[in-house]
Amino acid sequence: MERGIVRMKRKTPLLIAMLSLLPVPALAHPHIFIDAKFEVVAAPDGSISELRNLWSFDEVFSSSVLMDYDKAGDQTLTASELKAVGKTVRDSLAQYGYYTNVTSNGKAIPMAKPDAIQADYKDGSLTLTFSLKPEQKTFLKGTTIFGIYDKTLYTAVDFATDNDMTLSGTASGRCKSKVVRPNPKEVMAENQAALTSMFFSDPKGTDYSLLVATRLEVQC
């Protein structure tokens, strides 16, 4: 979906940018900002039951979405308009894994498409709520790392406190978890040569986003 549907085809440059459909140079500055909350829910058998996400967008992006979807011009979004926002994000972010990156003992774990993405607009802020599940049953065994980030760096995903990345569920008691917040300056200093090589081999994006992303590490 290059430009969304109907009215959105002409009026959603920020939404399309968020969905990573615009080329963005590596190490670009973010233009969209998300305050996020993330919860890993462990099933009774020790597998990953679901990954719960709550994204709150900055005022500039939120106002752009309001302008594009508010057909009545009454500065609010109806249930049907919010549903359209959620559907656009659900369809467009699928190929980017919903900015959700999970590895189990170094192996990438693909996520299935969520049943739906719930959108809401209150006090000038757009929020999206959705849950993801692994495509195949995945157990929390060994080291499992969860990161929520945009590889193009166009969208910045921030977790204000360590309590915004959590592990829960009946089987979570047998595991230890910690939030890791890399220092960008240290990452740049330690990986400058490698990052330069990555940029020239793939100027549309590098592993820099992975290196600096806040992540939840779970040991079971």
pLDDT tens for 104-162 read: 999 999 999 999 999 999 999 999 999 999 999 999 999 999 999 988 778 889 999 99
Burial of 72: CB neighbours in 10 Å, binned 0-12, 13-18, 19+: exposed
**26-30, 127-131, 186-190, 193-197, range with the lowest pLDDT:** 193-197
H or E segment to which residue 16 belongs: helix 13-18
Distance CA 182, CA 180 (A): 6
Domain residues of the chain, as ranges?
8-219
pTM for the model: 0.80
Range 8-219: architecture per CATH: Distorted Sandwich (2.70)
Asked whether residue 20 carries a pLDDT value surpassing 50, the answer given is no
Of 94, 129, 99, 128, nearest to 112 (Cα)? 94
Asked whether residue 202 carries a pLDDT value surpassing 70, the answer given is no
- Residue 95: other Cβ atoms inside 10 A: 10
- Residues near 167 by Cβ (< 8 Å), separated by ≥ 6? 39, 40, 42, 175, 177, 216, 218
